[in-house]
């Protein structure tokens, strides 16, 4: 049986890679993919704690399903925004889009 600490270490590594990707990417699609990686790290934590804590009654799996649902909605809305920005600015580079600047 794999100890809980292995899952937590893997989750921290995945979250760190996602955070690094979200902060260093210039491409909007790359930023969205990094956010999805961070959501998956959180899901791994939920499921691991649900498995190893007593009397959990599958709360971790239920929260993971909610996070997956929110991530799917975020991806759909995010990609729609990226498509709209591409139509207006002909780029998805977040440094070149100055729509919200004064």
Q: What is the CA radius of gyration of the chain?
A: 17
Q: What is the pLDDT of residues 26-81, one digit of tens each?
A: 899 999 999 999 999 999 999 999 988 887 688 889 999 999 999 999 999 999 99
Q: What is the pLDDT of residues 77-98, one digit of tens each?
A: 999 999 998 998 888 888 888 7
């Amino acid at each position: 049986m794999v100890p809980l600490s292995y899952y937590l270490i893997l989750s921290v590594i995945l979250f760190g890679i996602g955070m690094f990707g979200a902060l260093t990417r210039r491409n909007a699609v790359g930023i969205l993919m990094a956010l999805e990686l961070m959501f998956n790290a959180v899901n791994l934590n939920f499921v691991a704690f649900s498995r190893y804590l007593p009397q959990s009654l599958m709360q971790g799996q239920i929260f993971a399903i909610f996070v997956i649902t929110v991530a799917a909605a975020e991806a759909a809305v995010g990609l729609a925004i990226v498509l709209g920005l591409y139509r207006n600015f002909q780029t998805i580079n977040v440094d070149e889009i100055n729509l919200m600047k004064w």
